[in-house]
A and B are shown apart, each in its own frame.
Chain A
Amino acid sequence: MRSYYYPSTLIKPHVLLDFLCFSWKFRTLSGQESIRAYLSEHVDDKSRFEHASPRNFKVDSDTVNVPSQFRLPGSRSTEGIQGAFTFSITHPAAYGRGFFRLVQDVDGTWKALTLFTNMQDLVGYEEASASQCDLHEDRKMTWKDDLDQKFRAIEADPIVLIGM
């Protein structure tokens, strides 16, 4: 009997992991019914799904997460497809990024095993890519090289000289 219960507790199919796209909460939902119930909740006289209105789904081919194959946990050969994508939502107006893992159902149709949706930037308040590189954007050197250079500059032109 162990083999009958172990796999079902090992992996839960069809999971939606949402960071701030459908509500101001981080939510993890498993099962079509719980996902449907959550997205059907009413917000401003609309369902949560209609309110967020996700659209413009595109494969994110610019990242390392281009569509690739993956092997399911506990399986030696069953495989699916995983990859990143971008999208946008209406309320609040924002850009999102996500990740999907698809497997085939009994009819051969690709279905989501897991779907991750993440609000990336509010429209009009996008984080500048330059700021992510801090002060070292133009220096093209490692932190160690940067520190070494800083120490050499201080020792070459000391502000205080302590004599023994």
Chain B
Amino acid sequence: MYTRNVRPGIGSSVKKLAGAKCYLHCSGVFSSWCTEKMDMSADDLQAIAVNWLKSLEVASSTGDTTSFVNHFLPGGWLRGAFLLLSKYTN
């Protein structure tokens, strides 16, 4: 399996990412940037890909467009991550 070390973006509330270790960054000041590092074996990668495609298959078999589209990243999160990253790395 793989490990993830995350320093999540922290606003008014802290959302703990699933399966992640959370840290507070700096003394008394919440960090507003996150880094993720995943070390996965080929089997892990294969399993994740297979599971995602299986889920896509189920969504396709129902003919429900919404279920299919829900397999895409919802708007905002990625952009938010990049916003936070760039704010502290530029």
Do A and B form a real pair?
yes
Q: Are B72 and A49 in contact (CB under 8 A)?
A: no
Residues in B with CB closer than 8 Å to A14 are: 72-75
* Interface of B, helix, strand, loop or mixed by DSSP: helix
Known: A32-B75, A81-B45, A105-B77. A57 touches B54 (CB 8 A): yes
Residues in A with CB closer than 8 Å to B3 are: none
Which chain B residues numbered 21 to 62 have a C-beta less than 8 Å away from chain A?
34-38, 40, 42, 45-46, 48-54, 56-57, 60-61
Q: Are A69 and B83 in contact (CB under 8 A)?
A: no
Q: Are B17 and A106 in contact (CB under 8 A)?
A: yes
Q: Are B79 and A53 in contact (CB under 8 A)?
A: no
Interface residues on B, range: 35 or more
Residues in B with CB closer than 8 Å to A7 are: 79, 82-83, 85-86
Query: CA A54 – CA B64 in complex, angstroms?
Result: 12
B81 contacts chain A at the CB level, 8 A cutoff: yes
Quick check: which of A70-78, A122-130, A134-142, A152-160 contacts chain B, the rest being far away? A70-78
Q: What's the nearest-Cβ distance from chain B to residue A34, in Å?
A: 10
Query: CA A16 – CA B36 in complex, angstroms?
Result: 25
Q: Are B60 and A53 in contact (CB under 8 A)?
A: yes
A58 contacts chain B at the CB level, 8 A cutoff: yes
* Interface of A, helix, strand, loop or mixed by DSSP: mixed
Residues in chain B within 8 A of chain A (CB atoms) = 15, 17-20, 34-38, 40, 42, 45-46, 48-54, 56-57, 60-61, 63, 65-66, 68-75, 77-79, 81-83, 85-87, 89-90
Given A55-B61, A57-B54, A109-B18, output 16 extra A-B contacts at Cβ < 8 Å. A7-B82, A8-B83, A13-B72, A13-B73, A13-B79, A40-B65, A49-B63, A57-B57, A68-B45, A72-B78, A74-B86, A78-B85, A83-B45, A107-B18, A108-B17, A111-B71
Enumerate the 8 nearest inter-chain pairs by beta-carbon distance, A residue then B residue, closest first: A108-B18, A7-B82, A14-B72, A67-B45, A111-B73, A57-B53, A67-B49, A50-B63
Residues in chain A within 8 A of chain B (CB atoms) = 2-4, 6-8, 10-11, 13-14, 16, 31-32, 35-36, 39-40, 47, 49-50, 53-59, 61, 66-69, 72, 74-79, 81, 83, 85, 100, 102-113, 115
